[in-house]
């Protein structure tokens, strides 16, 4: 960085995301010596707080990668010394010009590079950007803004937000985060596909029968109902996290690994997708449930959720890509809260071997158990495994569905960095590959907006499922319409 400095301002410093993810990720980067030599971290929020109070607040959530690693407390102390706080309103130019003054002081004449992380509700984005970009516009260094979903509720409101931000910022200054893109296994998706001869040629309708993108959490909205009820699971998980994975999975080979080349291919595949139809969606909502002497609340029992809410906490959907590679292949998505387990995975079900010798014996009994299935388990316990048919050792001829299993915890030492670490580092380094470009966002909304409108316009009642269950049975019928079984259930 030479004579340059980087200031990272976390706007909304006392919020949950900042405390749980952003400050710890910044510290982890510092710990690994990934931050530039000259950096400062500022917290900005409305509440009054001293630098010391901010440091105390942050220090409660910082952890070193592996417990009791050497230098941990020493490093923490050094990091906290670089953290400061400024209190101000989000729509106040005065607040941001005072911040600017403090930033300049810390920058002490070096080329100032500034990163603002807007960890605040989106209705405040434009106010902050207007105030903060004004002071920064006259500088030599770069100024970048990280924003995180929700980016609107549909095509129109998202387009509106983009246009408002672009009044003050160039597209290159906007870093739209989708934290799933920072997850190790999601990054690995392209490596797996493009650098392994055994997979790349199979990546099409010729060999793949269906693809499943599954997200489940074993807890409900618990206090986040106020936010969640406005959006629902389709906007919270499917339109962004799962669709981003789908785009990476299904895109054509990019010209290079450059951000623009990759994002061009993602946009192309998103634009080839059919708009989701109402008959290809199942929605659900969790209801209260008593199990093992414990009672679990219904979604509508959450005090922050309006009574009688129809907001889905579960959805399953069948999506299609109308291009030569994927014509007719169902991409099934399933996302839900308050289910029996916490898991995110990508499952690729291959076709059966044509004329398979082991499919049937003369007696008519089937020998092979199943078609091949490739699973990328994004979390927990990151793993990649491939289900194959294998002969059970012995004198007879019996086949078994077995697994070639790459379990990360066995194969690789060390902890896997949190998604926010990678994304923050990329934003500092100006690497845009894992951030969402505005045309990608438009294409993503175009797929979901019509069905969201129909669901909400017709007030479609979600199918109730018990807290802690596997979700509504409707999801099975949806898959069955396409002759598919969910791989996480069978």
Catalytic residues: 241
8-state DSSP, 381: S
- The least CB distance from residue 172 to ligand BG6, in Å, is 24
**418 lines the binding site for ligand BG6 (CB under 6 A):** no
Q: Which helix (H) or strand (E) holds 480?
A: helix 474-481
User: Phi then psi for 428, rounded to 5 degrees?
Assistant: -65, -40
Contact 210, 331 (CB under 8 A): yes
Shorter beta-carbon distance to ligand BG6: residue 53 or 488:
488
Angle value at C-alpha 224, between 218 and 226, nearest 5 degrees? 135
Cis upstream peptide for 2 (omega within 30°): no
Residue 219 CB, shortest distance to ligand BG6, in Å, is 8
Residue 46 backbone phi and psi in degrees, to 5: -75, -35
Shortest spacing between CB 101 and ligand BG6, in angstroms: 35
Asked whether 239 and 231 are in contact (CB, 8 A), the reply is: no
CB of 476 to ligand BG6, least distance (A): 24
Q: Considering beta carbons, is residue 79 or 420 the nearer one to ligand BG6? A: 420
The span from the CA of 257 to the CA of 462, in Å, is 42
The smaller minimum CB distance to ligand BG6, of residues 180 and 203, is found at 180
Q: How far apart are CA 450 and CA 457, in angstroms?
A: 10
Q: CA–CA separation, 85 vs 87, rounded Å? A: 7
For the stretch 453-456, contacts whose Cβ atoms lie closer than 8 Å and that sit 24 or more positions apart, written own/partner, are 453/154, 454/278, 455/234, 455/278, 455/281, 455/283, 455/312
DSSP SS3 for 314 = strand
- Of 203, 231, 268, 205, nearest to 437 (Cα)? 268
What are 401's strand-pairing partners?
389
With contact defined as beta carbons under 8 Å apart, do 69 and 76 qualify?
Answer: no
Helix or strand holding residue 267 (H, E): helix 259-271
**Window 138-197: residues binding ligand BG6 (CB under 6 A):** 179
Name the minimum Å distance from CB 281 to ligand BG6: 19
Give the pair of three-digit tokens for residue 121. 């509700």
CA distance 259 to 23: 26
The number of residues that bind ligand BG6 (CB under 6 A) is 4
Complex with ligand BG6: residue 341 or 356, whichever CB lies closer:
341
Contact 14, 57 (CB under 8 A): yes
Please report how close the Cβ of residue 177 comes to ligand BG6 at its closest, in angstroms: 9
- Pairing type for strands 294-296 and 289-291 reads antiparallel
**Is 102 or 224 the residue whose CB approaches ligand BG6 more closely?**
224
CB closer to ligand BG6 out of 217 and 373 = 217
- Contact between 236 and ligand BG6 (CB under 6 A)? yes
Report in angstroms how near the CB of residue 403 gets to ligand BG6 at its nearest: 24
Distance CA(306)–CA(432), nearest Å, equals 39
- Please, what is the minimum distance in Å from the beta carbon of residue 409 to ligand BG6? 18
Minimal distance in Å, beta carbon 225 to ligand BG6? 11
The Cα 451–Cα 403 span in angstroms is 38
Cα 100 from Cα 131, distance rounded (Å): 10
**Closer to ligand BG6 by Cβ: residue 45 or 344:** 344
Quick one: which H or E segment has residue 265?
A: helix 259-271
Nearer to ligand BG6, 103 or 344 (CB): 344
Query: Which one, 236 or 368, has the nearer CB to ligand BG6?
Result: 236
- Say whether residue 345 binds ligand BG6 (CB under 6 A): no
Q: What residue number has its CB nearest to ligand BG6?
A: 236
**Subset of residues 198 to 217 that bind ligand BG6, contact rule: CB under 6 A:** 217
Interface contacts to ligand BG6, rule CB under 6 A: 179, 217, 236, 344
């Amino acid at each position: 960085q030479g004579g340059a400095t980087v200031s990272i301002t976390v706007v909304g410093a006392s919020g949950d995301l900042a405390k749980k993810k952003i400050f710890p990720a910044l510290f982890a980067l510092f710990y690994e010596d990934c931050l530039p030599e000259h950096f400062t971290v500022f917290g900005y929020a409305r509440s009054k707080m001293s630098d010391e109070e901010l440091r105390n607040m942050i220090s409660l959530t910082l952890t070193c990668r592996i417990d009791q690693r050497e230098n941990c407390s020493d490093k923490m102390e050094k990091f906290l010394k670089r953290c400061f706080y400024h209190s101000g309103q989000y729509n106040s130019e005065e607040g941001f010009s005072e911040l600017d003054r403090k930033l300049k002081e810390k920058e002490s004449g070096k080329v100032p590079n500034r990163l603002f992380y807007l960890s605040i509700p989106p209705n405040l984005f434009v106010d902050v950007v207007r105030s903060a970009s004004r002071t920064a516009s006259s500088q030599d260094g770069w100024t970048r803004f990280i924003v995180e979903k929700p980016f609107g509720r549909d095509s129109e409101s998202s387009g509106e937000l983009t246009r408002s931000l672009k009044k003050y910022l160039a597209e290159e200054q906007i870093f739209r985060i989708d934290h799933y893109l920072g997850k190790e296994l999601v990054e690995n998706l392209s490596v797996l596909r493009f650098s392994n001869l055994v997979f790349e040629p199979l990546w099409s309708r010729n060999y793949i029968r269906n693809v499943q993108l599954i997200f489940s959490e074993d807890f409900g909205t618990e206090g986040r109902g106020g936010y969640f009820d406005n959006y629902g699971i389709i906007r919270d998980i499917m339109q962004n996290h799962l669709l981003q994975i789908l785009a990476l999975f299904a895109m054509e080979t990019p010209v290079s690994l450059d951000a623009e080349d990759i994002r061009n291919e993602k946009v192309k595949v998103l634009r080839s997708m059919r708009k989701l139809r109402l008959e290809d969606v199942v929605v659900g909502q969790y209801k209260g449930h008593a199990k093992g002497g414990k009672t679990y609340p219904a979604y509508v029992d959450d005090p922050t959720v309006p009574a009688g809410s129809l907001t889905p906490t579960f959805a399953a959907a069948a999506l299609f890509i109308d291009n030569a590679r994927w014509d007719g292949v169902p991409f099934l998505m399933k996302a839900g809260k308050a289910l029996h387990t916490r898991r995110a995975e990508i499952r690729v079900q291959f076709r059966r071997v044509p004329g398979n010798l082991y499919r049937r014996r003369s007696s008519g009994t089937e020998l092979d158990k199943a078609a091949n299935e490739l699973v990328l388990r994004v979390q927990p316990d990151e793993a990649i495994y491939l289900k194959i048919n294998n002969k059970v050792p012995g004198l007879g001829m019996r086949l078994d569905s077995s697994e070639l299993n790459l379990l990360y915890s066995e194969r690789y030492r060390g902890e896997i960095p949190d998604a926010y670490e990678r994304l923050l580092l990329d934003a500092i380094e100006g690497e845009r590959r894992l951030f969402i470009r505005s045309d990608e966002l438009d294409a993503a909304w175009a797929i979901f907006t019509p069905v969201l409108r129909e669901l909400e316009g017709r007030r479609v009642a979600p199918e109730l499922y018990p807290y802690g269950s596997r979700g509504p049975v409707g999801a099975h019928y949806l898959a069955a319409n396409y002759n598919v079984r969910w791989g996480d259930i069978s």
